[in-house]
A = this chain, B = another copy of it.
Amino acid sequence: MVSRVESAAATRRALLDAAAGLLDSGGPGAVTLRAVGARAGVTRGAPYRHFPDKDSLLTAVAAEALDRLADQVQAVRADPRLSPADKLHMGLSALMTVGRRQPHLYRLMFTHPAGDPAAIHAAKQAGDRAMGEFLGIVGGVVGAEHTRRFAPLLLTSVHGITDMEVNGHLSADKWHITAEELVTTLVAMIDRQARSG
């Protein structure tokens, strides 16, 4: 026996999963409310019982992805078995992995959120949390006094590297370098800079 709220929660979950699945497999163009509904086992109008509009649904998907990322980074940060350098590497890898495995979702995560204010706020909240976790990890490597300067640089740069790769602008043919090499170089440079002055 399923209570009404349980059923509603399950549908909401199914809608989010359906939207994320369609986004992954077919890109933004494949995410239609009709397809989302069908995949979630409901009809085209049902999503409006859970989200004010399509944008809000997409933004909720982005918020969940950012939350998952924040969780991952938090877990890495809290793992006492890892060295600060390893934490940094794993944290950055987590970000790049999203870009590689779910390029459309990655784009959604870093696009200005749209939809109703509540959804937008949730996405920003999740993004801020993810960023906060990254800041903590970077701080463990370069020291608190350098965090303000280097953490944002590291994050934006790795995002740029990932974004360019995701969009096919990092073809190995022409650049003769991989995303990993770029990140390694960057981290080494920042590490050295923070150490020496």
A residues near B (Cβ < 8 Å) are 107, 110-112, 127-128, 131, 148-150, 152-153, 155-164, 167-170, 174-177, 181-182, 185-186, 189-190, 192-193
Residue numbers in B under 8 Å from A127 (CB-CB): 169
Q: Are B177 and A111 in contact (CB under 8 A)?
A: no
Main secondary structure, interface of A, reads helix
- Most interface-central of A148, A156, A158 (chain B CB within 10 A): A156
A sample of 12 cross-chain residue pairs with beta-carbon separation below 8 angstroms, ordered by A number, consists of A107-B111, A110-B167, A148-B176, A149-B177, A152-B170, A153-B186, A156-B161, A156-B164, A156-B170, A156-B182, A160-B160, A160-B161
Closest B residue by C-beta to A127: B169
Which of B164, B177, B192 is the one whose CB lies under 8 Å from A159?
A: B164
Least distance between A135 CB and chain B CB atoms (Å): 9
Contact of A112 with B168 at beta-carbon distance under 8 Å, contacts A156-B160, A189-B190 already known: yes
